[in-house]
Amino acid sequence: MFEVEPMAKILVLCARKDLDAAVDSLYEFGAIHVTRSTTFHAGAPSARLEPVSRMLVKLRAVESALAGEGLAAKPEGGAGGSGARHEHSMSNGAAVEKEFEALGLGEFDAAAKRKQELEGRLNELRSREKELMPFKAVKLGVLLLPQSLELAVFDVVTDGQKALGKAREFGEAALLQGGGRQQPKLLVAWDKGNAEKARSALGRLGKEASLPQSVKAFDEDYAETVEGISASERELAQARRRLREYSAKHGARVAALRGELEVLFKKADLPAKFGQSELSASAEGWVERKRLHDLEKALSDRLDDRILIEHMHTAEMPPSKLKNLAAVRPFEFMVGFFSLPRYKEIDPTFVTALTFPLFFGMILGDLGYGLVLLLMGLALALKFRKGFLNNVGGMLVLSAISTMIFGWVYAEFFGAESVFGMVELHPMLSRIEEEGINALFALSILVGFAHLTLGFILGVWQGFREKHLKHAYAKLSWIFVLFGLTAFIANSMNLIFTHYLGFLKIISPPFDAGMFILGMAGVAYFEGVVQLLELPSLVANILSYLRIMALGLSGVALAGIIAGIPLELSQLATVGGFVSFVLFGLLVIVGHAVAIVLGLIEAGIQSLRLHYVEFYSKFYKGGGVQFVTLRED
Amino acid sequence: MTALGAGLAVGLAALGTAMAQSSIGAAGMGLMAEKDGREGQVLIMLALPETIVILGFVIAFFLVGKIV
């Protein structure tokens, strides 16, 4: 619960000729964290790495191309069928190559290449069509004009008819519609002698554009372009059909073989971490102590007495694998997000699983919102059986239960003090009355005090576990400082929350001051005088827990506003009332949805922040290395 | 005047927090873009200045208590 999985470092020795069998066995066992071997010389990847890598790259490209056409295939599970996955050993490279050849990738390559060429051609033709569209009715071409004449085209920005009239002063002119959103164009054929004068005059009415380059008349060129587009589209459809046929025939097998090659790639790369000599090979790694016997059995089943496994004694820090109850496991993600515990460090997951939902519930505290979050959490946890979303679902379920409990305490149901106006709720602590707010203020301080005390206690325990006694006594000193200071405040000051800290009055004066001074002396002795400057940080840490109250109040205010929207069944009696009922109803639903999302984000992030900054800093450093197995399953 | 003080306590504290977090956030995004797995540290750094606004809220709360 508070410890990570005990690990053992092992050394595996075998003959070079048995390397492939050793790799297969290790991979089949899977639950080993392989490290770089320091025995013998540095190893090299298997000779199979290059062909496997080549096949893998090719299959990934094929899958990507098929996915681009919306033809992604998934490998089918089970023993039969072309999409079933098989596990290949290091020794059957020829079988893999044969399967690869059987995919007929030449056929795919031809279809994909043709499709790519046609797509490029279509893009060019469409661009050309757009360029020629204004000129589609013009039976002229640049090269078909008499030598004395010159063609020019202008994008008309002012009155088209005025521009046309002006252009006709210099030669033949026509106003062409651009088509779509294009501006109209003014096409002018003028005498080359008038070119400068014409340009100057027409330049004030429009901007000169470039003429499409063509050896034919524009209308002919346009017609050919359109014909070219149709033909290319027909051929492209054929190329796509060939790809669809390929996908239907081989798609599942491509996906399955890609998965098999990824495994084979890992196996082929594994010898790079081995140590190798001319005749021998060695592998080192970490294995859970409870699975050591399973590993020995797996290796000896395959290799009999041709393999030797030794337990290594090392000062190296083992990787960390968290070990928690199923209900608590979703919170491992939260700890990992901060940093994994080092091997001998206390795993804070269990404590986090208790306190995170507590803070979450104290902040959000609403029966209705808690119910919605509970349903969301259950849906996530049931839909996603593993992974990040399953963790989120698990955390959300526990947090939602806490939210509902505090919703009962605060008597809040979607911001109202009754359940749909039918059942009245009676608050034990009202967040809308002064007395309740003061009590919440004190409760937040108390929770902070307790949480920090717990952090220091864990710090003391950590110190004793690691036999760093100075560290343990320093944390104990901080506990004295915390209790002494809080008792002093409870005894001597009449603040809002001191009434609720009455239990600390058992530390009566002058013992409260004495405890504080003793604690400070302890901190100075065990951690150094400079650490006394951390006292304001300690006070700030406690006050930081007031965010529980502050965020809670802002949530109450928002929920209260939404709950105040007039929505009653009696409105359905009239047509106008029906319309207002529907509109207000939508407003209420959207409003509460926004409040739930904001509450979820704020309560989640702030609870997390209280753990990471205030709590973990008292006892936890992290820096552990993740235990990464050869196989995920 | 007390009400003004309460408002200033929260407002100015929030302003200070916002100024701090804007710099930290921008630097944090840069760090995350360059190095994987630093999200936890960035979140902590970003959350640190929030204590300033909470302390401002505490002062305002005490002041408001006096008004009421």
Q: What is the pLDDT of residues B34-65, one digit of tens each?
A: 887 777 778 778 877 887 887 888 788 778 76
Q: Give the angle A204-A207-A213 at the CA atoms, nearest 5°.
A: 140
Beta strands of A322-437 (E only): which ranges?
Answer: 418-419, 423-424
Task: Please give the residue that has the higher pLDDT: either A404 or A560.
Answer: A404
**Who contacts A101 (Cβ-Cβ below 8 Å, separation ≥6)?**
none
Q: How far is CA B41 from CA A2, A353, A547, A609, B46, in A?
A: 23, 20, 21, 11, 9
Q: How far is CA A246 from CA A59, A67, A242, in A?
A: 13, 13, 6
Q: Give the angle A338-A339-A343 at the CA atoms, nearest 5°.
A: 150
How many Å apart are CA B51 and CA B58, to the nearest integer?
10
Any B CB within 8 A of A540 CB: yes
pLDDT of residue A190: 84
- Name the pLDDT band for A85 (thresholds 50, 70, 90): low
Helix (H, G, I), strand (E, B) or coil at A528: coil
Strand partners, A190: A150, A171
- Name the pLDDT band for A87 (thresholds 50, 70, 90): low
In chain B, the residue whose alpha carbon lies closest to the alpha carbon of A612 is: B44
Any A CB within 8 A of B48 CB: yes
Render A89-123 in DSSP notation, one character per residue. PTT-HHHHHHHHHTT-HHHHHHHHHHHHHHHHHHH
User: Considering only residues 102 to 131 of chain A, which have any Cβ-Cβ distance to chain B shorter than 8 Å?
Assistant: none
Residue A154 backbone phi and psi in degrees, to 5: -125, 140
Here the tokens at position A284 are 């080192």
Mean pLDDT of chain A: 86
Average pLDDT score over residue span A1-9: 89
**Who contacts A613 (Cβ-Cβ below 8 Å, separation ≥6)?**
A541, A544, B44, B47, B48
Here the tokens at position A470 are 């100075």
**How many residues are there in chain B?**
68
CA dihedral defined by A337, A338, A339, A345, rounded to 10 degrees? -120
Q: Say yes or no for a CB contact (<8 Å) between B55 and A496.
A: no
Average pLDDT score over residue span A151-164: 83
Is the preceding peptide bond at A510 cis, omega within 30 degrees of 0? yes
Tell me: the pLDDT tens digits for A313-336? Answer: 888 889 999 999 888 999 998 898
CB atoms near residue A37 (< 10 Å) = 22
**Who contacts A311 (Cβ-Cβ below 8 Å, separation ≥6)?**
A8, A9, A10, A11, A292
Strand partners, A186: A154, A175
Q: Which residues from B are below 8 Å from A605, CB to CB? A: 43, 47
Average pLDDT score over residue span A358-376: 94
pLDDT of residue A344: 86
Q: Is the pLDDT of residue A78 over 50?
A: no
How many Å apart are CA A167 and CA A184, to the nearest integer?
14
Q: Which residues from B are below 8 Å from A434, CB to CB? A: 68
CB atoms near residue A340 (< 10 Å) = 22
- As a 3-state breakdown, chain A gives helix, strand, coil percent values, each rounded to 5, of 65, 10, 25
The residue assigned the tokens 């920090």 is: A452
Q: Say yes or no for a CB contact (<8 Å) between A544 and B40.
A: no
CB nearest A434 (choices: B44, B62, B68): B68
Quick one: three-class SS letters along A382-403?
HHCCCCHHHHHHHHHHHHHHHH
Report the DSSP pairing between strands A185-191 and A7-15.
unpaired
Average pLDDT score over residue span B16-34: 92
Tell me: the pLDDT tens digits for A117-148? Answer: 999 999 999 999 988 888 888 887 777 778 88
In chain A, the residue whose alpha carbon lies closest to the alpha carbon of B68 is: A434
What percent of chain A has pLDDT above 90?
30
The residue assigned the tokens 């069998």 is: A21
Q: Is the pLDDT of residue A552 over 70?
A: yes
What percent of chain B has pLDDT above 90?
34
Q: Is the pLDDT of residue A80 over 80?
A: no
Task: Please give the residue that has the higher pLDDT: either A566 or A607.
Answer: A607
**Who contacts A277 (Cβ-Cβ below 8 Å, separation ≥6)?**
A16, A40, A41
Q: What is the distance in angstroms between the Cα of B56 and the nearest Cα belonging to chain A?
A: 11
**Who contacts A219 (Cβ-Cβ below 8 Å, separation ≥6)?**
A135, A136, A137, A138, A139
The residue assigned the tokens 């490998």 is: A75
How many Å apart are CA A573 and CA A314, to the nearest integer?
81
Q: What is the distance in angstroms between the Cα of B43 and the nearest Cα belonging to chain A?
A: 8
Classify burial at A146, counting beta carbons within 10 Å of its beta carbon; exposed 0-12, middle 13-18, buried 19 or more: exposed
Residue A151 backbone phi and psi in degrees, to 5: -100, 140
Any A CB within 8 A of B67 CB: no
Q: Say yes or no for a CB contact (<8 Å) between B40 and A338.
A: yes
Q: Say yes or no for a CB contact (<8 Å) between B54 and A338.
A: no
